Amino acid sequence: MKPVQKIHGLAVGLEIGNVDTDQIVPARYLYRNRSDGFADTLFRDMRFDPEGREHESFPLNGPEAERAAILVTLDNFGCGSSREHAVWALIDAGYQAVIAVSFGDIFRNNAHENGLLPVVLEEHEVMHLLQHVKGGPATLAVDLETQQVTLPDGICFSFDIDSAAHENLLLGRSKIDATHSLRSTIDEFEEAYLGRHPWSE
Amino acid sequence: MTGGKTLFEKIWDTHEIKVSENGESLLYVDRHFIHDGTSQAFEKLELEGHRVKSPHKTFGTADHYVPTRDGLDGLTDPERRAMVLRLDEDAKRHNIRSFGFGHQHQGIVHVIGPELGLTLPGFLLVCGDSHTSTHGALGAFAFGVGASEVAHVLATQTIWQARPKTMRITLDGRADVGVTAKDMILHIIGTIGAGGATGHVIEYAGSGIEALSMEGRLTLCNMSIEAGARAGLIAPDDKTVAYLKGRPFAPSGADWGRAVAHWQTLTSDSDAAFDREVRIETGNVSPTVTWGTSPEDAVPVTAAVPDPQGEPDAERRARMIRALDYMNLKPGTPMESIAVDRVFIGSCTNSRIEDLRAAAEILKGRKTKIPAMVVPGSMSVKAAAEAEGLDRVFVEAGVEWRDPGCSMCVAMNGVDVVGPGERCASTSNRNFAGRQGRGARTHLMSPAMAAAAAVAGRIVDPRKSIAGGEA
């Protein structure tokens, strides 16, 4: 996965709460291989009518929104199913960060695994950003190192992110390799654990 | 002296291999389940050149894409069919035991785990499916993960996690007649909200929980994720031990005694502190149904569709208006007057034998007015139901009796789909827009209420049917 540091790009707003992963990628597309790509499935049933025509009013549609790198939305974004496709679809469509009031836990973990930065801000801060993008895609900067979201007028909001995710995103490193470096610690633990809990074997 | 430990903290501490400098814990995984939607995790594993560390700790079954009639011929779409077969190929290539399509143990992963004794109290258990919270009913810390984490578990038999917060939901007192675990969990989500438990592990406690059967507990824990919880947990008790004894993969011989002795320690200490406590009077829970597009949109079946104009929060009001528009419902409409087009009884929430018995009790000697199907949770639930003659009750009532799978809950096999604009009374767990098919309108409810809806052709309070009232 690519390291995340500074994101400077167009942001679009999706002023809807509880956006579940079935909305982000409908289940009928999940069988694809990762390498097939999921950009065209992103918010499929919200962006297009059943005949495949774009809904003009949907904020992610239009030539400018095509270039967006940041999505601003409300609370509990990515709730529901554990499908990592929701994160893949956002990444494949060019998104590098999602700013929300809160996230579904599994979605947030999946985002960390793929170099998509989930940013949690206070509700009034998110509302300010949504106001900023109300007229259409508008510029925002997100800096993971300084943990700040900055508007073109200089107003900026700080965000927290747990330090493990922070480090992994900055380095863009594979967790499996990092865990393998702890192999002897894991093997020692396993032997002792299975000694005490033999029915787990 | 510090306070005691919660059940969750005991399981967490037992599985903690290491805490990293940045505060994340590396946890040991006792049990891992895979299904026919796991191919992308194997793709990642192989692309990065890793092998499966402990193949015997992972078990597979086909559920998401399987057809529920006509065998594999029922799966006409080649890409979906390939997903069912890829599970067998991936499992075989990595020496993983899998109960694929046609196997006597095949079924919905969250039904077969407990049923086979693969899910045990005190285990740390993961699966690439959000409803893994189900297994917490046996006192396991069980949670859903994405494909990358599945690949990590396959490669290392461990998982990195930030420690969640704890929340206890206590249900005190007895449930009214006709009130099921499904009604309780819909009531809970309606109370705390779809994001009400985000970042938390819920422990369910109290006399209302103790009184539930194991199957009821599985239904309750199953929908913990619909409140945003990382997991749901219930402390193992005598019912848990009795449920597990003699199951095919449960410990036996000397291990059984050691295991039971360990399980008896798995309770929250009386002085343990939770980050959050919620108390609910079980007696206040009515048969409950959803009206909107989030599981939190839950009301008693005797109530009416709520009016957004009475909602003070603007964002919540907008959400309600959007949900009512999608559901094609008007505020103030009595829930019991809403006509439905079809009924689905099944899913990892409500497809176990007790669920089927509850539906059969309503359907016995009655006829359905609308298309309805019952999809058992596993091959063994199917066999048990047929041994009891439940299949004949369903068929005589005009209900289709299918083969096990996720089916119309997630509409992934391409044929068990609710049509655009159709209204479905469903025992599943998600009423999200498009979940059961593009444009499908879902009302979540218990098996008894769904069966009663099949007979009435509309949403109806199942207590009337149980009491032998309205036919």
Per-residue pLDDT tens over the stretch B362-411: 999 999 999 999 999 999 999 999 999 999 999 999 999 999 999 999 99
User: Is residue A93 in a domain?
Assistant: yes
> Is the predicted pLDDT of residue A114 greater than 60, yes or no?
yes
> Is the predicted pLDDT of residue A57 greater than 70, yes or no?
yes
Count of other CB atoms within 10 angstroms of residue A189: 18
User: Is residue A1 in a domain?
Assistant: no
Q: What CATH number should be reported for the domain holding residue A27?
A: 3.20.19.10
Judge whether A110 is closer than 8 Å to chain B, CB to CB: yes
The whole-number pLDDT of residue B467 equals: 57
Spatial distance between the Cα atoms of A53 and A157, rounded to a whole number of angstroms: 37
Number of domains in chain A: 1
Q: Domain span at residue A159?
A: 6-200
The whole-number pLDDT of residue B74 equals: 85
Query: If you count DSSP H runs as helices and E runs as strands, how many of each does chain A have, helices first?
Result: 8, 7
User: Is residue A158 in a domain?
Assistant: yes
Instruction: Kindly report the average pLDDT of chain A as a whole number.
Output: 95
Judge whether A74 is closer than 8 Å to chain B, CB to CB: yes
Judge whether A174 is closer than 8 Å to chain B, CB to CB: yes
Write out the E strands in B269-332: 276-281, 288-290, 298-300
Burial B147-168 (b: 16+ CB within 10 A, else e): bbbbbbbbbbbbbbbbbbebbb
A31 and B83: CB-CB below 8 Å? yes
User: Would you give the DSSP letter of residue B72?
Assistant: G
The whole-number pLDDT of residue B2 equals: 64
Closest Cβ opposite residue B432 in set A23, A102, A200: A23
Closest Cβ opposite residue B199 in set A84, A105, A180: A105
Q: What is the mean pLDDT of residues B312-324?
A: 94
Closest Cβ opposite residue B259 in set A84, A189, A199: A199
Instruction: With beta carbons under 8 A apart, name residues in chain A contacting B125.
Output: none
Instruction: Kindly report the average pLDDT of chain B as a whole number.
Output: 96
Please say whether the beta carbons of B160 and B25 come within 8 A.
Answer: yes
Spatial distance between the Cα atoms of B254 and A150, rounded to a whole number of angstroms: 63
Choose the weakest-confidence range: A47-56, A140-149, B146-155.
A47-56
User: Is residue A12 in a domain?
Assistant: yes
CB pairs under 8 A between A and B: 182
The whole-number pLDDT of residue B3 equals: 83
> Which amino acid makes up residue B268?
S
Strands A97-100 and B31-34, sheet pairing: unpaired
A82 and B262: CB-CB below 8 Å? no
Nearest CA in chain A to B430: A80
Backbone angles phi and psi of B308, in degrees to 5: -60, -30
Q: What is the mean pLDDT of residues B171-200?
A: 97
> Is the predicted pLDDT of residue B470 greater than 70, yes or no?
no
- CA B385 to centroid of chain Cα atoms: 20
Nearest to A83 by CA among A31, A35, A17, A12: A31
Q: Which residue has the tokens 């399980």?
A: B263
User: Is residue A111 in a domain?
Assistant: yes
Q: Which of A28, A31, A55, A102 to mutate to test the interface with B (most CBs of B within 10 A)?
A: A31
| B1 band by pLDDT with thresholds 50, 70 and 90 | very low
The whole-number pLDDT of residue A168 equals: 87
Judge whether A170 is closer than 8 Å to chain B, CB to CB: no
C-alpha distances in Å from residue B164, one per residue of A84, B21, B202, B222: 21, 17, 10, 18
pLDDT tens track for B86-132? 999 999 999 999 999 999 999 999 999 999 999 999 999 999 999 99
pTM, whole model, 2 decimals?
0.96
User: Is residue A32 in a domain?
Assistant: yes
Nearest to B179 by CA among B463, B464, B470, B467: B463
User: Is residue A134 in a domain?
Assistant: yes
Spatial distance between the Cα atoms of B363 and A54, rounded to a whole number of angstroms: 45
B99 Cβ neighbours under 8 A, 6+ residues apart: B59, B60, B61, B62, B105, B106, B107, B112
